[in-house]
Amino acid sequence: MQPQTIAIGCDHAGFPYKDPIIKHLKEQGYAIKDFGTNSLDSVDYPDFVHPVANSIESGESQMGVLICGSGNGVCITANKHKNIRAAMVWRDDISALARQHNNANIICLPSRFISLHEATHFVDVFIKTEFEGGRHERRVEKISEF
C-alpha cells in the first residue's frame, strides 16, 4: 500500500534536496508534511527528525524522508523511536530491500554522497516498493520487542 501523506525533514546539509523532492512527490499526488529546516543556516538535525518520526507514529503520515549530509545522524535519531524503522539508502537495491525485507517507514538520504537525481529516484523506489511480509514479518516484529 502506497502512502498518502509523507513527512519530510532535513538539516542544513539536506536542505538543497528537500524542496525538489517535495515538488517531485507533490507532482505524483502525495500530500507532504514539511518539518523543515528551511534554510542553509546550521541547525541540529534531531529538531527536525523527531517531528517526522512522531508524525508517522501518530498515523498522520505513512512514510518519511530524512536528509542530512551523511544520512547517519538522521537515521540514528529516527530509530530511537519504537515504531520507526529508518533505513540509510545510497543505492536502488538498498532502497527496495529496506521496504521488502525490513518494512522501513523512513528513508534516510546522505546528501553529500548522492546526487539530487539519485535521491529522488531512491525515494520513488522506496515509496513504491511493498513489504514482502512472510518470513520477514516475524523478524520485523522482533525489532521493537524491548
Catalytic residue list: 68, 101
Other beta carbons less than 10 A from residue 74's beta carbon: 33
Q: Rounded to an integer, what distance in angstroms lies between the CA atom of residue 122 and that of residue 76?
A: 19
Q: Who's near 32: CB < 8 A, 6+ residues apart?
A: 5, 6, 7, 8, 22, 25, 26
Amino acid at 108: C
Q: Rounded to an integer, what distance in angstroms lies between the CA atom of residue 112 and that of residue 128?
A: 24
